[in-house]
Amino acid sequence: MRLGINTFLFTSPFTDDSTKLFPQFKKWGFETIEIPIEDPSHIDTAHVKRELEKNKLVCGSVCACLGPDRDLRGTPEQQQTGLTYLTKLVDQAVELGCLTVAGPVYSAVGRADAVPEKEYQKQWRAVVKNLKGLCKYAEKRGVVICLEPLNRYETDFINTVDQGLKMIDEVGSPALKLLLDTFHMNVEEKNQGKAIRKAGKHLGHFHACGSDRGTPGNDHIDWAPIAAALKAIKYQGDVVIESFTTDVKVIAKAASIWRRMEPTREEIAVKGVKFLKKTLL
């Protein structure tokens, strides 16, 4: 199990210049970096990979960023734009030496509407079809797509482990797994430990952050059952701190971060990785 950090805590968008953050991440004790690629043109993957290697780090996952124009359950144009973008992320993941593309790969973040069951099923079929195509390509490239259930305020589509597992079953590809996030599970799951155990072998990636999006451990989440569940399913993937602060304005607005959760974002990283090492490793 490796501990990582999502760069959204410090910058958006991630560009070639953002690699200047790597030495500090390494100094704090992180082993892997989760890189959100908001637009594939923002980075030269060869440059980023060189900087990772220079700092003895690896890109553990590429984080998919789906806005209104990228939506696998949207209009035909939005579906195609989303599929083209996600396919490019698979290519860039390979170039970065990374085996995981993670995030809410099924829909634009923030799309949350109550729709009739018939419409929901139509959207579901569209996502199944699109993910089948994407996963077929990912299989050929040796990449795993990790689908993330989000809380009800960020999507009406996939909120729980049960829904995520249903999608995995219908897509039917070994290249599709789950990304579980303690923040989202805190809202949607009755019991985080049981949800992790239910995911079992299908858990491919894990986000750890506080119940308020702050420092893991400085919150009301019961971390002991989470640690026990990860151990029980023999999870060996990355555990990534994905927290947001008001310092990065674009992401703060997107994630509804209206106030400072912790004194500094550095504290989230430093105290967070220390807590996770003590609790999970």
Half-sphere exposure of 259 (CA within 13 A, CB side): 2
Q: State mean pLDDT over 211-219.
A: 95
Averaged pLDDT of the chain? 96
Q: What's the gap between Cα 95 and its chain centre?
A: 19
Q: Which amino acid is present at 185? A: M
Task: Answer whether residue 1 shows pLDDT above 80.
Answer: yes
**133/222 Cα distance (integer angstroms):** 38
257 phi and psi angles, rounded to 5 deg: -95, 100
**265/249 Cα distance (integer angstroms):** 13
Question: What's the token pair of residue 19?
Answer: 């690699």
Q: Give the pLDDT of residue 253.
A: 80
Q: Give the pLDDT of residue 256.
A: 85
Question: What is each CA distance from 145 to 68, 81, 212, in whole angstroms?
Answer: 20, 17, 27
Q: Which amino acid is present at 105? A: V
pLDDT digits (tens, 9 = 90+) for 172-186: 999 999 999 999 999
Task: Answer whether residue 15 shows pLDDT above 80.
Answer: yes
pLDDT digits (tens, 9 = 90+) for 236-269: 999 999 988 787 777 778 788 888 888 999 999 9
Domains of the chain in sequence order: 2-280 (3.20.20.150)
Higher pLDDT, 6 or 252: 6
Q: Give the pLDDT of residue 258.
A: 83
pLDDT digits (tens, 9 = 90+) for 60-110: 999 999 999 999 999 999 999 999 999 999 999 999 999 999 999 999 999
